[in-house]
Structure 1
């Protein structure tokens, strides 16, 4: 088990289990965990049930975190699962300016007449126009990709170029449909860490290029979205627009960027998604990944690699890559 970094704020939420026991929704505070299935007046089946009544439950959680008389358990010794099982996962692509520029340069065809500098300048202008015209790029992921923050990541035998993409994930608190940018953050309960793994070799359909991207194939293998370790309430995240997103591969820093580089912040993404789809409590909105993916470094994931992902105030996840047994 990785060293369990404490989150920002007085408490966070997670899903835990003791040896030999089943998972339970828990309140984490000062290195100890309270079983919410016992502490709340009602018995929640999981964290999603807590989120479904977020506005009335949040003040109760604040009081519970300050109550030393309750039946707290030490975090040490508990297994940490993915904090929740979402019904829907909305993923934002091409949302970090520098990342998109790097990918464009990396995917240039051999006969592209542009210099590297010309290619970077051209895609930078496109990114700035997208931001000005309010055109996020969002697609759908499968809940079956969710894995725990310390679980092994199985690399499928067919995935020839598996890559990492560490991301800030917003957790929805209440149904949101056609909400404005100004009110969008009122629908966010908190934030967690997601590593949105991608097989670069299957991103584009080679049999029919006009179809474009194949998100099912490249992103939706079981366990391809390690999540957590915790959900930190939005009120405890000091500066959403300047969080440090850092991924280390075998101890070497590969991604290290501020959320300031995002073209579309959380409010704009939530509002944009809600114009088409109804967001539900516990849904995830992944906000895109910064520069420094494996395709940029020319170094993709392989058996035995260890990824350590952190975001300011949200803790640390640590996952080991394991080749699929053929």
Structure 2
């Protein structure tokens, strides 16, 4: 360990490991402070966020503690959520792209343009008068920001969906949109991987989407690397979401393209379920998914995903043995 002087006021949280022993850590620059003298886990920090945040500010601005070099630590998923609320069809361009990709009757550029205009108008109407499309994911799908992703052998159409993830810091039940951001502790990165060929049930089309099969394989929710407090993120409606595959930029979109902003999503989720500290609300995927390019994840692919101010996760894909 080393003495780390003059830490920045900006900090983040995550879960780290030394010799497989996990602990919560306060991240300041390239150094980490072990928080086990205060809390046993990041989840425990979030359960008392109102008391914890000023303590974290004080710790981040003190040099009287033994700091550990970030490079000496393994980085785990920053937290283990109790609930994962996911948002579908929440980016205008993404929805338009998907609608066109799923149609095989668009044989001319004019037909594609007309279809895009039609779907775009529908999304504008939905944003003005509709409500978010929310569903649940399984916490068991959460993985670390640098873990390998094992591509399940039952699908060859596994796709990336880098998303801004909202971390709840105060209980929220049937709150208004105006109240919603007061219940947010911070933000992190999530790649909501999807098996595209399992989204729709072929045996009973009336059922519609099957998110259980298409989104919940082990490792399908890489999370992190850091949980950044809301005070350091600025406007969550003006962040850049960027994902590359083998160095090629696939997603590069602003959260400005969201149909329903963070406050609207958190409020809508709270109308149905009681949100608790540590719960995640995913905000949906921007455009640039593999299905739009006819290009899906393969063995050896490397995904790197970053969102303004939240760090970068790096996931290597492996075929299922």
- Between the aligned partners of 1:204 and 1:160, the Cα distance in structure 2 is 15
Quick check: 1:72 aligned with 2:62? no
Cα deviation per residue 1:107-147 (whole Å; 9 max; x = unaligned)? 01438998111211111111111111131100100000000
Counterpart selection for 2:310 from 309, 314, 325:
314
For residue 84 of structure 1, report the CA deviation from its aligned partner: 0.4
Quick check: 1:162 aligned with 2:161? no
Structure 1 unaligned spans of 5+: 1-7
SS of structure 2 residue aligned to 1:49: helix
For residue 156 of structure 1, report the CA deviation from its aligned partner: 0.4
Quick check: 1:225 aligned with 2:221? yes
SS of structure 2 residue aligned to 1:240: coil
Quick check: 1:150 aligned with 2:149? no
For residue 51 of structure 1, report the CA deviation from its aligned partner: 0.3
For residue 71 of structure 1, report the CA deviation from its aligned partner: 1.6
Quick check: 1:180 aligned with 2:176? yes
Q: Report how many aligned residue pairs link the two structures.
A: 313
Quick check: 1:82 aligned with 2:77? yes
Q: 1:292 maps to which residue? A: 288
For residue 214 of structure 1, report the CA deviation from its aligned partner: 0.5
* Structure 1 segment 241-252 matched on structure 2, within 5 A: 241-252=237-248
For residue 52 of structure 1, report the CA deviation from its aligned partner: 0.5
- Between the aligned partners of 1:9 and 1:251, the Cα distance in structure 2 is 32
Deviates more, 1:216-225 or 1:69-78: 69-78
- Between the aligned partners of 1:161 and 1:9, the Cα distance in structure 2 is 43
- Between the aligned partners of 2:127 and 2:81, the Cα distance in structure 1 is 28
* Structure 1 segment 14-93 matched on structure 2, within 5 A: 14-18=14-18, 20-38=19-37, 40=38, 44-93=39-88
Q: 1:13 maps to which residue? A: 13
The alignment yields a C-alpha RMSD, in angstroms, of: 1.4
Quick check: 1:263 aligned with 2:266? no
Decide whether the 8 Å contact of 2:90 with 2:284 is kept in 1.
yes
For residue 303 of structure 1, report the CA deviation from its aligned partner: 0.3
Quick check: 1:282 aligned with 2:254? no
Structure 2 unaligned spans of 5+: 1-7
Change (3 A) 1:88 1:9: farther
- Between the aligned partners of 2:59 and 2:9, the Cα distance in structure 1 is 14
Change (3 A) 1:116 1:21: closer
TM-score by structure 1 length? 0.94
Counterpart selection for 1:124 from 110, 120, 124:
120
- Between the aligned partners of 2:142 and 2:20, the Cα distance in structure 1 is 21
Decide whether the 8 Å contact of 2:106 with 2:112 is kept in 1.
no
* Structure 1 segment 100-115 matched on structure 2, within 5 A: 100-110=95-105, 115=111
- Between the aligned partners of 2:35 and 2:164, the Cα distance in structure 1 is 25
- Between the aligned partners of 2:222 and 2:286, the Cα distance in structure 1 is 17
Cα deviation per residue 1:188-231 (whole Å; 9 max; x = unaligned)? 00000000000000000000000000001000001100000000
TM-score by structure 2 length? 0.95
Decide whether the 8 Å contact of 1:9 with 1:236 is kept in 2.
no
SS of structure 2 residue aligned to 1:282: coil
Change (3 A) 1:22 1:188: same
- Between the aligned partners of 1:24 and 1:249, the Cα distance in structure 2 is 31
